[in-house]
Structure 1
Amino acid sequence: MAKKATKKSEAWVYFDHIVADAAPRGLHSNPWILNEKGQAVFSPDFDTLQRLLGVPLYLAAGTQSGVPALALDVWLSYEFRRAGFQTDQVWPRPSHPRILPAPVAALISNLNTPFRRELERVIADTASIKGVTSASSIILGKNYTKQVDVVISDWATGPELLVSTKRMDSSYGKNAANRVEESYGDAKNLRLRHPLASLGFVFGLRSDIFEKAPNKAPWLFDLLEKLGQEDDAYHATCLVLMEYDGTSYQVPEPDGDNSTAELPGTGSDDETAELPAELPENEIAKGLANLPKVSILHDKTPNELAPARFLATMVMRILSTTPVTMHAEARARMAAIKPSIKA
């Protein structure tokens, strides 16, 4: 009997289609543009973000499924690929397996055809291969391991980008402070072991906080800004303010704060890894055509927490802490939009 698909395994199917539509044949648009002052700025693809955010609403996937926050992870990894970082360097990848070290991918591509096809089949048909592929990134900090949501890493360099994401669609009064407090500890744990990595934090928040907890919103925004200003915390923080088109759409959440702390250990996710669901093409097309509309409220987002600023800061820090011979495509994409200087 076939195993019933989970919300997450179904969500991956829709996420992968949305990202593939945004980058046909794996070709990504250049996110860098010149503003009215002639300055290079990062221009995020918010249309793709809004489609991704509609998936958990369409599937009625609750917070504990991991799908609502995963929509942010998928978008961020897509944006870093737009910036010029390679597919196998940025995790989660846009296809299964989500974590595949670049040297392993290079090995596979250099194998003789029969061996390559067989290995590709094994990887594609296996949820995770211990020590090789994985569904999530487990990073060792100073004192304990931590699941990090969006990562750029390589065996030769170690982690170069570590971004954690949180999502909150309700229970603002109960859980908002807990989310920020957890992040302070996580940031210090990671930064002490990986001081050169670009460390970031992205918080997805539903816009009805302004109606349900109006006094909480400015307090939370202030905490998020300060989280990106501490010397031993994140290099930048980001707020994604989401407005649903219609009050009927809800991301189911448990009552109270049911988050659990994991004991430090190996951080293996072999037992929870799963393959993308097998859905009929007509069902996928129907879902993509009927995604609930989600809007991003830019005018209510503080400048210090703007997604464009966050992404630019992360990319610039990666490039500034590595030799110019590394990340050639990312550097070329930035250089491509700068006006030529005539002698």
Structure 2
Amino acid sequence: MAAEKSAKAKAWTLFDRIVDRAAPEGVHTNPWVKDASGKRHFQPDYDTLSLLLGVPLFLKANTQSGVPALALDVWLSYELRRAGFGKDQTWPRPTHPRILPSSVANLLEELTAKEAGPVRAKVERKSAIKGVTASSASILGKNYTKQVDVIITDWSTGPELLISTKRMDSSFGKNAPNRIEESYGDAKNLRLRHPLAALGFMFGLNAVILREEPGTAEWLFDLLIKLGQEDDAYHATGLVLMEYGDDAVLPDDGEEPAVEALAEPGVEAEEDSAPVVDAVGDIDLTIANLPKVRLRLDATPDELMPSRFLAAMVERVLGITPVTMHRGARRHRAEARQL
């Protein structure tokens, strides 16, 4: 367990630096663009995604560590901030603590510098404060709680966006049916309690499946597409096809990290959610030498493109809220640049 915590802490150090370089001083590029016909499209930052996906390969972090899937969570949250949502609105946040309820963030903003100093120091220093800050959170569905990986929520609105991520790097024939079955059940559970929330599912998949198990790939793509078309399942599903060299293969433990289905809803404390600043030496040099990850967008079905997925998630959130809410995201969308 200690090794897993160390891997996640090191990963956060690299993830944070990659995201910080992509958005200097918290200033993000606008992902929205318009084509010649005036239609808006979401243009993801795939370069940043490739770097983030190289982190678990560099650390040789297995699936049980949670680091491989965490790379997708960090990227999706980053893309939502590019879309104009605030840094405290989208979880995981770009700095520790990864989950900070808006009520706490607002309190810190309202306090004087003298009052806020000790409170902010404690929030930022401690790995987690039970019931207040954490690195993950569970949402109550119709029948059971579910850990959700990327979230926009507030006590005054309830969940507005819930994205679950899964990643599969090997043992495709054995793991794929289980992942799909779990995902469909999770979608039904969350959708029935939170019908208005934007509900999404992003699947990270080693592109070696295209060569080693093309039949499984075809079957899996078809089911992922159908998951995003059911009236009572996800509003959108997405696929990240990753290709990297044989010398950068993740350790194969064949399993996802265990999640306690009967856990209490709310934030979940983890001791390894804070980055370890000196854990990886020269951070920029390490990032420059991360294993290269190629995104196989050419082999990704149109219905599962990350660009389509992110556009659907943002449009869903904005479409079900008053125009007085999420003004930053609405402004970014309105200011789409011409291609």
Normalising by structure 2, we get a TM-score of 0.95
Superposed, which structure 2 residues align to 1:82-93 within 5 Å?
A: 82-93=82-93
Letter in 2 for 1:41: H
Cα 1:178/1:34, change in 2 over 3 Å:
same
> Whole-Å Cα distance in 1 between the matches of residues 256 and 305 of structure 2?
29
> Whole-Å Cα distance in 1 between the matches of residues 264 and 70 of structure 2?
22
Cα 1:155/1:84, change in 2 over 3 Å:
same
For the residue of structure 1 that corresponds to 2:94, the secondary structure is: coil
Give yes or no for contact 1:150–1:164 (8 Å, CA) kept in 2: yes
Give yes or no for contact 1:54–1:293 (8 Å, CA) kept in 2: yes
TM superposition shift of 1:284? 1.6
Q: Which residue of 1 aligns with 2:153?
A: 153
Flag structure 1 segments of 5+ consecutive residues without an equivalent. Answer: none
Q: Which residue of 1 aligns with 2:264?
A: 266
1:228 and 2:223 correspond: no
Letter in 2 for 1:262: E
> Whole-Å Cα distance in 2 between the matches of residues 188 and 295 of structure 1?
33
Give yes or no for contact 1:134–1:273 (8 Å, CA) kept in 2: no
> Whole-Å Cα distance in 2 between the matches of residues 165 and 132 of structure 1?
23
Superposed, which structure 2 residues align to 1:188-199 within 5 Å?
A: 188-199=188-199
Give yes or no for contact 2:6–2:272 (8 Å, CA) kept in 1: no
Give yes or no for contact 1:143–1:189 (8 Å, CA) kept in 2: yes
> Whole-Å Cα distance in 2 between the matches of residues 186 and 107 of structure 1?
34
Letter in 1 for 2:263: G
- CA deviation map 1:187-211 (0-9, x unaligned): 0110111000000000000110012
Superposed, which structure 2 residues align to 1:214-253 within 5 Å?
A: 214-244=214-244, 246-253=245-252
Flag structure 2 segments of 5+ consecutive residues without an equivalent. Answer: none
Superposed, which structure 2 residues align to 1:89-168 within 5 Å?
A: 89-168=89-168
Give yes or no for contact 1:77–1:92 (8 Å, CA) kept in 2: yes
For the residue of structure 2 that corresponds to 1:195, the secondary structure is: coil
> Whole-Å Cα distance in 2 between the matches of residues 4 and 283 of structure 1?
22
Q: Which residue of 1 aligns with 2:77?
A: 77
> Whole-Å Cα distance in 2 between the matches of residues 34 and 67 of structure 1?
35
1:176 and 2:176 correspond: yes
> Whole-Å Cα distance in 2 between the matches of residues 176 and 326 of structure 1?
39
Letter in 2 for 1:215: G
For the residue of structure 1 that corresponds to 2:247, the secondary structure is: coil
> Whole-Å Cα distance in 2 between the matches of residues 17 and 302 of structure 1?
31
Letter in 1 for 2:53: L
Cα 1:262/1:320, change in 2 over 3 Å:
same
For the residue of structure 2 that corresponds to 1:224, the secondary structure is: helix
For the residue of structure 2 that corresponds to 1:133, the secondary structure is: coil
Give yes or no for contact 2:9–2:272 (8 Å, CA) kept in 1: no
For the residue of structure 2 that corresponds to 1:132, the secondary structure is: coil
Give yes or no for contact 1:172–1:209 (8 Å, CA) kept in 2: yes
- CA deviation map 1:121-171 (0-9, x unaligned): 101111111111111021111111110000011121111000000001110
Cα 1:64/1:259, change in 2 over 3 Å:
closer
For the residue of structure 2 that corresponds to 1:248, the secondary structure is: helix
Give yes or no for contact 2:52–2:71 (8 Å, CA) kept in 1: yes
Letter in 2 for 1:202: M
Superposed, which structure 2 residues align to 1:59-70 within 5 Å?
A: 59-70=59-70
Q: Which residue of 2 aligns with 1:300?
A: 299
1:275 and 2:274 correspond: yes
Letter in 1 for 2:173: G
> Whole-Å Cα distance in 1 between the matches of residues 4 and 65 of structure 2?
14
Give yes or no for contact 1:64–1:253 (8 Å, CA) kept in 2: no
| C-alpha RMSD of matched pairs (Å) | 1.8
TM superposition shift of 1:275? 2.2
Larger mean CA deviation between 210-219 and 194-203 belongs to 210-219
For the residue of structure 2 that corresponds to 1:37, the secondary structure is: coil
Letter in 2 for 1:28: H
Q: Which residue of 1 aligns with 2:23?
A: 23
> Whole-Å Cα distance in 2 between the matches of residues 162 and 212 of structure 1?
33
